Amino acid sequence: MNSKLRIGIIGAGAAGMAAAWDLTRLGHEVHLYEAESKVGGLAAGFKDDNWDWTMEKFYHHWFQTDKSILKLIDDMGKSGKVLFPRPKTSYWIDGKVVRSEMNLSALSLPLSFLAIIRLGLAGVYLKFLTRDWRALEKVTADSWMRRWMGDEAYNKLWRPLLIGKFADRYQEVNMAWMWARIYTRSLRLGIYEGGFQAFLEDFAKAVTAQGATFHLNSPVEAIGTQDGKPTLTVKGQVEVFDRVISTASPGLMLKLAPSLMDTPYGKQIANLKSIGALCVVLALKQSLLTDGTYWLNLPATSADKSASQFPFLALVEHTNFMDKSHYGGDVLVYCGDYVPTDHEYFSMTEDQLVERFLPALKKVNPAFSADWIRKSWVWRAPYAQPIPFVNHSQNIPALKTPLPGVYWASMSQVYPWDRGTNYAVEIGQQVAKEAVG
């Protein structure tokens, strides 16, 4: 299509900006509407007064296999700002920190020799020998891993993590989702110089330089139709476009376009399930994970957080990944978890949540004391992780909606891949191509 189109995009996260990047390169007029005061969405960061770099509200990194976003950064001329160190990741097993990478370090896991062999063979199969994810989505991760990895390795390593992430629905998650997490991961983890917010700001500048217009602090109130063209209502004003691309969550999409509710497409959206995420971020005066571990997976012994050994899923010492000199000398630690939006973690005050999580830090490091904490932050997102059930590909709505000229691209549609900026960029570019193709 050679004619210039006027295109409205809901959301200035990675997906919305990726769509805008491609559309402005084709010469189209693009307007991005963002409810927040800055770009970024779930990948957005924050910055304390004495820091040179920003921190992500929700821990984030890239993999060396993240081709879509790495190519985009290269196209921006910013590849020199991407860093790929190799941090240490570990499990907490039987009261000890144990290295957890899929390599020879697996030999140190507290498993029988047979369990290690089965774990290794299954890992090699998933990492290198199969791309047939559609066959894997027909079975649950729970049943596949029990069968091929064996109960010992599964119960010791994987089941606690699945429970920690999906609580009482962990036995319903399909194996294709687990395969995608193993298949695409690399030992080196990537970050942008200055933090991910620095990347997002550089990306926004590049998109603006190509002619896009950003409207921050501008939540869209409704998606409509006028004379066969899609409209957006923003601050009470109706704007008419040739195309509209929404990167909103499923719930918000249906709220913005309630006419979808009575359509098969709308019912598909309504049937999608997801969970929320939260992170307690602590600025400490000294290191918590003194063995150099960056990411410590904490086992869930129960779907009930209050009955589990640990009240959250992941303990991440960011400054064992990036030097604390970027953050005014603070040791920065995430306590991260995934819970449904009706969980008490979403209604507790920030102080209550910090107090709930602190005893876990003393379990990991008995020397820890609350007076190590200089400052704390709490970040919560009600839409953070889609739940993929068996044969989930049949449940994914198309990018094109039944509304004239309206398209929807969300993290619920990147399946079998997991949510993240790489796949946000990929789906943003896909929807841009479909919208004007």
Is 91 inside any structural domain? no
Q: Residue 266's pLDDT is what?
A: 98
Q: How many CB atoms lie within 10 A of CB 411?
A: 26
Output the CA–CA distances (angstroms, integers) from residue 309 to 97, 312, 357, in the order listed. 15, 9, 11
Strands, DSSP E only, in 133-228?
A: 189-192, 213-215, 220-226
What stretch of H or E contains 25?
A: helix 14-25
Residues 341 and 207 in one domain: no
Residues 374 and 299 in one domain: yes
Backbone angles phi, psi at 46, to 5 degrees: -140, 165
The phi-psi region of residue 94 (left if phi > 0; otherwise alpha if psi is between -120 and 50; otherwise beta) is left
Q: Is the pLDDT of residue 1 over 60?
A: no
Which two tokens mark 308? 């589990």
Is 59 inside any structural domain? no
Q: What is the pLDDT of residues 362-394, one digit of tens each?
A: 999 999 999 999 999 999 999 999 999 999 999
Residues 382 and 432 in one domain: no
Q: What string of H, E and C letters represents the secondary structure of 265-308?
A: HHHHHHHCCEEEEEEEEEEECCCCCCCCEEEEECCCCCCCHHHC
Residues 277 and 262 in one domain: no
Q: Residue 2's pLDDT is what?
A: 61
Which two tokens mark 19? 């769509």
Is 16 inside any structural domain? yes
Residues 208 and 307 in one domain: no
Cα-Cα-Cα-Cα dihedral of 171, 177, 178, 183, to 10°?
170
For 127, residues 6+ apart whose C-beta sits below 8 A from its C-beta are 102, 182, 183
Q: Is the pLDDT of residue 103 over 80?
A: no
Question: What is the Cα–Cα distance from 193 to 209, expressed in whole angstroms?
Answer: 21
Mean pLDDT (whole number) for 47-76:
96
Mean pLDDT of the chain: 95
Residues 376 and 230 in one domain: no
Q: Residue 129's pLDDT is what?
A: 85
Q: Is the pLDDT of residue 437 over 90?
A: no
Is 327 inside any structural domain? yes
Sequence length of the chain is: 437
What's at 98, amino acid-wise?
V
Mean pLDDT (whole number) for 254-271:
97
The pairing of beta strand 62-63 with beta strand 82-83: unpaired
Q: What is the pLDDT of residues 119-136, one digit of tens each?
A: 999 999 999 988 899 999
Helix (H, G, I), strand (E, B) or coil at 137: coil
Output the CA–CA distances (angstroms, integers) from residue 382 to 12, 50, 275, in the order listed. 18, 30, 7
Strand partners, 157: none
Handedness of CA 263, 273, 251, 60 (dihedral sign): negative
pLDDT band at 104 (very low <50, low <70, confident <90, very high): low
User: Which of 157, 183, 209 is a domain's end point?
Assistant: 183
Is 143 inside any structural domain? yes
Backbone angles phi, psi at 12, to 5 degrees: -115, 45
Q: Is the pLDDT of residue 226 over 90?
A: yes
Mean pLDDT (whole number) for 67-89:
97
Residues 71 and 200 in one domain: yes
Helix (H, G, I), strand (E, B) or coil at 111: coil
Mean pLDDT (whole number) for 54-81:
96
Mean pLDDT (whole number) for 274-288:
97
Q: Residue 109's pLDDT is what?
A: 87
Is 243 inside any structural domain? yes
What's the CATH number where 241 sits?
3.50.50.60
Is 188 inside any structural domain? no
Closest CA to 106 of 207, 348, 380, 93: 93
User: Which of 153, 183, 213 is a domain's end point?
Assistant: 183
Q: Is the pLDDT of residue 169 over 80?
A: yes
Please say whether the beta carbons of 164 and 300 come within 8 A.
yes
Share of the chain above pLDDT 90, in %: 92
pLDDT band at 159 (very low <50, low <70, confident <90, very high): very high
Residues 137 and 206 in one domain: no
Poorest-pLDDT segment among 104-118, 281-295, 336-350, 417-431: 104-118
Strand partners, 429: none
Q: What is the pLDDT of residues 173-217, one digit of tens each?
A: 999 999 999 999 899 999 999 999 999 999 999 999 999 999 999
Q: What is the pLDDT of residues 11-22, one digit of tens each?
A: 999 999 999 999
Residues 266 and 407 in one domain: yes
Residues 287 and 367 in one domain: yes
pTM (two decimals): 0.95
Full residue range of the structural domain in which residue 114 is found: 102-183
Question: What is the Cα–Cα distance from 9 to 216, expressed in whole angstroms?
Answer: 12
Residues 242 and 148 in one domain: no
Is 166 inside any structural domain? yes
Matching residue, tokens 């957890």: 100
User: Which of 183, 204, 222 is a domain's end point?
Assistant: 183
Q: Is the pLDDT of residue 79 over 90?
A: yes
pLDDT band at 99 (very low <50, low <70, confident <90, very high): confident
Q: Residue 213's pLDDT is what?
A: 98
Question: What is the Cα–Cα distance from 261 to 279, expressed in whole angstroms?
Answer: 33
Q: Residue 156's pLDDT is what?
A: 93
pLDDT band at 105 (very low <50, low <70, confident <90, very high): low
Specify the number of domains making up the chain.
Answer: 3
Residues 279 and 417 in one domain: no
